[in-house]
Amino acid sequence: MATPDPQGFADEWVRAWNAHDVEAVLAHFHDDVVFSSPVAARVLPDSDGVVQGKAALRDYWSTALAGMPDLRFEIVDVYRGQSTLVINYRNQRGGLVNEVLIFDGDLVREGHG
C-alpha cells in the first residue's frame, strides 16, 4: 500500500502537536486505531501502554497534554516504508523519539511511540 507524502504528513503532524490540537492529530487516525507508547503506560497505568480506538486515544492525549503544557516537537527526519512512516523528532526536553505509523489507506491504523 502507498503511504502519504512523508514530509507533507510530518509537517501537518508536527504543526498539530505544537498547537496542542488533539483533534487535528486524530484526523489522521482510523476509528479503531491501536497505539502503543511507554508514555501511555505512565499516563494510563492500567493500559499496559496500549490504547485502542480513537476515543481512547483522544482521552490519553488530552490527559497527557494537560500535564505537559510545554510540549513541543521538532522534526529531525522522516522515513518512508511500505505502508509505514517513521517520524524522528526531538521533544521539548531534547530527547530523540521515533513515531512509527502504519497506514491503511490514507489513515493510520497502528502507531507506536
Residue 2 has pLDDT above 80, yes or no: no
Reported as a single tens digit per residue, the pLDDT across 49-63 is 999 999 999 999 999
Cell numbers representing residue 55 in the block: 476515543
* 57-94 per-position pLDDT tens digit: 999 999 999 999 999 999 999 999 999 999 999 999 99
Phi, psi for 32 (deg, rounded to 5): -105, 30
Question: For the whole model, what pTM was predicted?
Answer: 0.93
Task: Transcribe 27-96 into DSSP letters.
Answer: TTEEEEEEEE-HHHHHHSGGGTTEEESHHHHHHHHHHHHHT-TT---EEEEEEEETTEEEEEEE-TTS-E
